[in-house]
Amino acid sequence: MLHLLRIDLKKLTSYRTFWVVCGLYFLTLAFTTASGMEFLKWLASKGTQFGTTLNINRIPLYHFPDVWQNLVFISGFFKIVLAIMVVISITNEFTYRTIRQNIIDGLSRWQFLQSKILTNLLLSLMSVVMVFIIGLVTGLIYSPEINLGYIFTDLEFFPAYFLEVFAFLSYALMLGLLVQRSGLTIIILMLSHMIEAIIKVNIPDRAEFLKVFFPMESISNLVPMPFARYAFQEIQDYVSLGSVAIALVWIFLFNYFGYRKLQKSDI
């Protein structure tokens, strides 16, 4: 297993695009998630101009345990960058035809796919670690009192975030295997949410209950939007087991479809 991961990492670590994209991903992720207070200050100054006052100290953006769900939710938007990297990595194998040589050299098709899935797992794990560290640091800075009980509350959002990123990367990998051309794959990937939204709008009311089973919807449902709570609204501040189950099924299906396609086609 580890051997297969090392093979794929060997391909990536000497590829400059990989470092640039991953660098951009982790930098924007870090800056965006860490600059929430600056954003609130800017919002408050704008508000003053219009005569409303916004007491930013009353919005506990970075207070434990709020910080976990807030950061994880925001970080979810950046997974598209990693997914594009995954698309480039798999479609390159088709444009350079190196997948063919890998298999001639003695990898099985399943082993080849495993090496890509393992990289997806690693990238998801690194995202989790990154967001956890940012959350911990900002939380320690901004929380008025450090309470271990609060710090360890709501940590379930991290496994949910892990599933969210991994499910989306699995989807990107499957698209890459099916389409095999980088440009087209990236376009489909970026439009996926929109295409799904159009379909959802058009389903009849009595089939409304099906909406939660849609792939993109199920991925976003893992970590619900938390910010409405600062406008005194009720939010879902937990991870629902139902959405975890649906996401797990999709993760399996994405990778299985990729596997089927790879087994059946001539390379």
What is the rounded distance in angstroms from the CA atom of residue 216 to the CA atom of residue 167? 9
What is the rounded distance in angstroms from the CA atom of residue 235 to the CA atom of residue 229? 6
String of DSSP letters for 1-43: -HHHHHHHHHHHHT-HHHHHHHHHHHHHHHHHHHTHHHHHHHH
CB of 103 to another protein, least distance (A): 5
> Quick check: 100 binds another protein (CB under 8 A)?
yes
- Counting residues that bind another protein (by CB under 8 A) gives 26
Among 52, 105, 205, 234, binds another protein (CB under 8 A): 105
Contacts of 242 (CB under 8 A, 6+ apart): 212
Among 2, 14, 145, 232, binds another protein (CB under 8 A): 14
> Quick check: 53 binds another protein (CB under 8 A)?
no
> Quick check: 104 binds another protein (CB under 8 A)?
yes
Q: Which is nearer to another protein, 88 or 219 (CB)?
A: 88
Residue 103 · residue 109 · CB < 8 Å = yes
CB-based burial label for 218 (10 Å; 0-12, 13-18, 19+): buried
Among 34, 81, 111, 240, binds another protein (CB under 8 A): 111
Q: Which is nearer to another protein, 7 or 81 (CB)?
A: 7
Specify the stretch interacting with another protein by CB under 8 A; choose among 20-28, 68-76, 81-89, 106-114: 106-114
Nearest to 256 by CA among 177, 190, 162: 177
Positions that interact with another protein (CB under 8 A): 3, 6-7, 10-11, 14-16, 96-98, 100-109, 111, 264-267
